[in-house]
Amino acid sequence: MAIHDAFHMPDVLTAFLLTVGMSLLLGLGLREYYLMNQKFRVFGSTRTLMFVALLGFVLFMLQPSGWLYLGGLLLLGGWWAVFYQHKLAQGETGLIGMLLGLMSYTLGPVSLNLPDWFLILYVISALFILNAKEPIQRLTLRLANEEVITLAKFLVLSGVILPLMPRDPMGSYLPVSVYETWMAVVVMSGLSYLSYLVQTYLMPHRGILLTGAIGGFYSSTAASVVLARESRQSDLNGFQPAAAIVLATGMMYVRLLLMVTFFDRQVGYLLMPAFLALFLVALGVAFVLARHHEGSAQLPASVGRPKNPLELHASLLFALSFLLVTGLTHYLLAHDPQEGLQWMAFLSGFTDIDPFVLAVVGGHFDRAPEVLVFAILIATASNNLLKAIFVMVLGGGVTRWLGGGALLLLSVLSGAIIFWTSRPWS
């Protein structure tokens, strides 16, 4: 609900009050910035920004064509140019005050033409950026230039190329479109990239449990392998790596549930009780194991750091995997309508589970939602079995038995859910 609807005020009065209020916030934020950074040679602060905002509001109202508003902008620009030339002569180069002054001048047109929530978001975003100088600088220094370029390419492919891709099915055994294939890549890569950023830049000095949680949201299989290998180190207590391994698998259920619900809400809602139950079991087991604090629970910063999931070759490889799994599953269903999907689900768990799960919800399979849910449960069960084998082979000390045993328990519980629930395989 808009502000003028709630208080029954005229639109112009609401826009005027919002302009005054938002310019006051900008001015107070700028004044605080000046005081904290001990800047005294400034163009103005609170009152100046409020006067600039009122000027922009009135000039925009007087002439809808905008010539008066443009004239006011040129006048302010001239003053700012003289002031900035004076600052340069004094060896100062800051533009923050003038930029916020320019934003204040635009508050009137924004309040008159755009929704109230956008105006508030506009100002709050400016204040956040104003007060986040040091965090932004630290992130800029730590962010690799190659990753910025990779992200820019990915945004072009997802935001520009994706809407232009054809939406017609590719064939009888491959009834998905190029658009649907790349959408699966975008969703999977987006979730993995979020985990990658957190693990690489926001929490580089992380404990072993945090490594398991974040790594599980990226790839529970990769996290389990890394943690199992690290458990062989003498300074790591075996209970802590085991807890992190189980926690990684618990986060896998959250990640898969988000992906499934994005593509098919009905399947996601049907899958939610089972996945939440398995997640809680994993969380409980991890909590019990983590209560043993002997030894070091800290990993080196380089351990478990994933590769950038937005690399183009990784995205293309996932797209090919998605198409291969979708085509193979349709082929098996055509030759074995009763059990083809179940066998494909079981075998997919021993590879990368993500392409199969996304193929199930986005591959146009002529099966009831309950059948698709069971297929996803079978895939996660076999995937947990694979991780249990990895942990028992690669792990050291009690980690191999505790972590591997917990993963076997989750696999058995998935099978029990399938067995005790009616199975509409037809």
Same domain membership, residue 321 and residue 240: yes
pLDDT tens digits for 85-101?
887 877 777 788 888 88
Mean predicted lDDT score pLDDT of the chain = 79
First and final C-alpha spacing in the chain: 49
Please tell me the total count of domains within the chain. Answer: 2
Same domain membership, residue 210 and residue 88: no
In the chain, pLDDT over 70 holds for what percent of residues?
80
**Is the confidence at residue 306, as pLDDT, over 70?**
no
Quote the domain boundaries for residue 342.
139-420
pLDDT tens digits for 128-140?
888 777 776 666 6
Mean pLDDT of 140-156: 67
Strand partners, 236: 296
**Residue 311's pLDDT is what?**
63
**Is the confidence at residue 373, as pLDDT, over 60?**
yes
Same domain membership, residue 391 and residue 268: yes
**Is the confidence at residue 82, as pLDDT, over 70?**
yes
Query: Considering just the CA atoms, what is the radius of gyration of the chain in Å?
Result: 28
pLDDT tens digits for 194-240?
777 666 666 655 567 777 788 777 778 878 887 887 777 655 556 88
**Residue 241's pLDDT is what?**
84
**Is the confidence at residue 424, as pLDDT, over 50?**
no
φ, ψ dihedrals at 238, nearest 5°: -65, -25
Contact assessment for residue 263 and residue 187, using Cβ atoms and an 8 Å cutoff: yes
CA atoms 327, 332, 333, 339: torsion sign: negative
Confidence of residue 1 (pLDDT cuts 50, 70, 90): very low
**Alpha helical stretches, state H, 264-311:** 265-290
Structural domain ending residue among the three candidates 72, 100, 131: 131
Same domain membership, residue 281 and residue 151: yes
pLDDT tens digits for 313-370?
667 777 787 777 777 777 777 766 667 778 888 888 887 788 888 888 876 677 788 8
**Residue 296's pLDDT is what?**
47
Structural domain ending residue among the three candidates 100, 131, 162: 131
Q: State whether residue 207 is helix, strand or coil.
A: strand
Give a yes or no: residue 227 inside a domain. Answer: yes
Same domain membership, residue 122 and residue 48: yes
Nearest to 73 by CA among 42, 31, 103: 103
Structural domain ending residue among the three candidates 131, 151, 171: 131
Same domain membership, residue 164 and residue 70: no
Q: What is the dihedral of CA 278, 279, 282, 285, to 10 degrees?
A: -100
Same domain membership, residue 319 and residue 212: yes
Same domain membership, residue 382 and residue 271: yes
Same domain membership, residue 354 and residue 257: yes
**Is the confidence at residue 256, as pLDDT, over 80?**
yes
φ, ψ dihedrals at 207, nearest 5°: -80, 170
Same domain membership, residue 67 and residue 29: yes
